[in-house]
């Protein structure tokens, strides 16, 4: 969303706007994930973030494929919500203190990002179905499932490894 | 997260930071929801947003109760991610065009907000459990369930009423 009021006459206008918002979000994420992976101490967490980077590049390509089929382009506008979400992640990248505690913070920030995308893809898939865009709805559903899987994987790493380690940090 | 690097020595430091972030997010939301409800055309959507405003006020009180029991205060820092999420909602409030299409956009923005909170409360509840804060974990779980219910309600309104109406907007 930009500074100026936009006009949405049809569900298709909204659908294209949502696809562009997701595209901006995913592109921002491809730049942020390598920094988060580098800052992570847990090798499991590094691996999960690196795997998700590969998936995220695929998500960008799917969105471009969908926009292309609609004869539309990504807008070049920046998704402000994702900017804020990434700023939170960067706060943990810069933070000092116990490594496992920082990993736990990075996981929390990454899960907020995943949930942003889960909500966004849920909306976009609903709109695609309503507009009879079957192929797009399938692609969006596939991405939605991958975001959900990434979120669960992060929960597993938090519960199984990172939070227990952080709970036994020196001053706990 | 502010401009300066923070220090997280213990899981408790992280927990307090997450609670403060959620507090800022919920306070911002109590200001945003009435504007979204006013902008909504669908009476079902207006009602859902107004009901959620009441719940959100309760969520603020729960977070204050939890912080108080820890002898901590809300920080006064602003949750940047929620600022971005609310800016997206404001974009739809200001947008012109078809009323049902705008309602569909408002629902999408509200669901992104709900998912932000679902991720945040999921993290905070995990940390509370790990720290043995049983009462807090229960309160956070209750809020988490209410956020999930609000998200499902919004999906129902989108699928059942708003998206079908938007799909039959004049230029669809």
- B152-166: per-residue pLDDT in tens? 999 999 999 999 999
Are the Cβ atoms of B21 and A88 closer than 8 angstroms?
yes
Contact at CB, A87 and B81, closer than 8 angstroms = yes
pLDDT band at A44 (very low <50, low <70, confident <90, very high): very high
**CA of B65, closest CA in chain A: separation in Å?**
22
B101–A14 C-beta distance less than 8 A: yes
pTM value surpassing 0.90: yes
Q: Is B107 within 8 Å of A123 when comparing Cβ atoms?
A: yes
Task: Kindly list the averaged pLDDT for each block of 10 residues, start to end, along chain B of length 172.
Answer: 74 96 97 97 98 98 98 89 94 94 97 97 97 97 98 96 89 50
Query: Which residues on chain B are in Cβ contact (under 8 Å) with A119?
Result: 108, 111-112, 114-115, 151
> Over 90: is that where the pLDDT of A127 sits?
yes
The pLDDT value given to residue B171: 54
At residue B77, what are phi and psi to the nearest 5 degrees?
A: -75, 150
Encode burial over A89-109: b for 16+ CB neighbours within 10 A, e otherwise.
bbbbbebebbbbbbbbbbbbb
Q: CB-based burial of residue A70 (10 Å sphere; 0-12 exposed, 13-18 middle, 19+ buried)?
A: middle
Q: Which of A54, A56, A46 is nearest to A154 (CA)?
A: A46
């Amino acid at each position: 969303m930009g500074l100026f009021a936009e006009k949405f006459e049809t569900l298709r206008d909204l659908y294209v706007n949502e696809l562009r918002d997701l595209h901006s979000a995913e592109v921002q994420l491809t730049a942020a994930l390598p920094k988060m992976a580098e800052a992570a101490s847990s090798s499991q967490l590094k691996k999960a973030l690196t795997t998700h980077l590969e998936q995220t590049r695929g998500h960008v390509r799917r969105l471009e494929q969908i926009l292309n089929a609609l004869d539309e382009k990504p807008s070049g506008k920046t998704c402000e919500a994702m900017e804020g979400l990434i700023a939170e992640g960067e706060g943990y990248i810069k933070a000092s203190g116990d490594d496992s505690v920082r990993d736990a913070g990075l996981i929390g920030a990454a899960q907020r990002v995943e949930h942003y995308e889960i909500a966004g893809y849920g909306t976009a898939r609903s709109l695609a179905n309503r507009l009879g865009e079957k192929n797009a709805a399938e692609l969006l559903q596939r991405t939605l499932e991958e975001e959900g899987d990434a979120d669960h994987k992060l929960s597993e790493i938090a519960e199984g490894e990172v939070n227990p380690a952080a709970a036994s940090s020196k001053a706990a």
